[in-house]
């Protein structure tokens, strides 16, 4: 039996540099090739955390909210699990809202992957799944459309081509809902 190295990422001490306001939440890839840059292109409310936990303590200038992203593989899920545990044990100021798993191939994953996914997703508050999309293998990321949460869910008409895949929009709706639930309420201190 081989042992693998545990995944760990640095936590930023200062907010991400950039224009304010920044993204409403950060996508943290549990490993390279997880799909973060593609999802950050699809969702206008999300930014790529560049393999670092956001500082989380500069809430006036940077969102503290994070969604982890991994491939639906043993290695991807194991890396995500490591980072979920790291978030808990290090007492980071950023808030982990959930996990997005991205299919690694068409069709259902092997039984071992499904079992590990069940364990890992049980360790987070929410899980969103993105299926396999063949066209992404040859698409330039910059050519992908963007879905804006304020646009709502597109109405499907027979024969219409939806530019953003339905499961990407469904996951986006779920993440925006989780984000809204996590936001402190205006009246909470009164």
- Cα–Cα distance for residue pair 39/50, rounded to 1 Å: 13
Taking residues 20-38, what's their average pLDDT?
93
Closest residue by Cα to residue 9 from 96, 83, 81: 83
Taking residues 91-105, what's their average pLDDT?
95
Give the per-residue pLDDT at 161: 53
Residue 58 CA to its chain's centroid (Å): 21
The backbone torsions φ and ψ at residue 121, rounded to the nearest 5 degrees and listed phi first, read: -70, -20
Assess whether pLDDT exceeds 90 at residue 95: yes
Give the per-residue pLDDT at 159: 54
Assess whether pLDDT exceeds 50 at residue 188: no
Domain borders along the chain are 21-145+162-182
Q: What is the CATH number of domain 21-145+162-182?
A: 3.40.50
Return the half-sphere exposure (C-beta side, CA atoms, 13 A cut-off) of residue 155: 1
pTM above 0.85, yes or no: yes
- Cα–Cα distance for residue pair 97/182, rounded to 1 Å: 8
């Amino acid at each position: 039996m081989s042992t693998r190295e545990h995944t760990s990422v640095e936590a930023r001490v200062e907010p991400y540099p950039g224009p304010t306001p920044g993204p409403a939440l950060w996508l943290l890839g549990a490993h390279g090739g997880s799909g973060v840059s593609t999802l950050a292109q699809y969702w206008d409310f999300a930014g790529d955390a560049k393999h670092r936990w956001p500082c989380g303590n500069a809430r006036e200038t940077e969102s503290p909210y994070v969604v982890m992203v991994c491939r639906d593989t043993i290695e991807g899920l194991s890396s995500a699990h490591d980072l979920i545990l790291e978030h808990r044990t290090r007492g980071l100021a950023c808030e982990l809202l959930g996990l997005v798993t991205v299919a690694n191939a068409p069709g259902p994953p092997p039984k071992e992957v499904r079992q590990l996914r069940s364990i890992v997703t049980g360790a987070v508050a929410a899980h969103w799944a993105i299926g396999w999309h063949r066209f992404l293998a040859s698409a330039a990321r910059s050519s992908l459309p963007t879905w804006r949460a304020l646009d709502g869910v597109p109405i499907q008409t027979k024969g219409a081509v939806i530019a953003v895949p339905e499961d990407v929009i469904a996951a986006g709706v779920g993440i925006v809902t989780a984000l809204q639930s996590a936001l402190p309420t205006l009246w909470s201190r009164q």
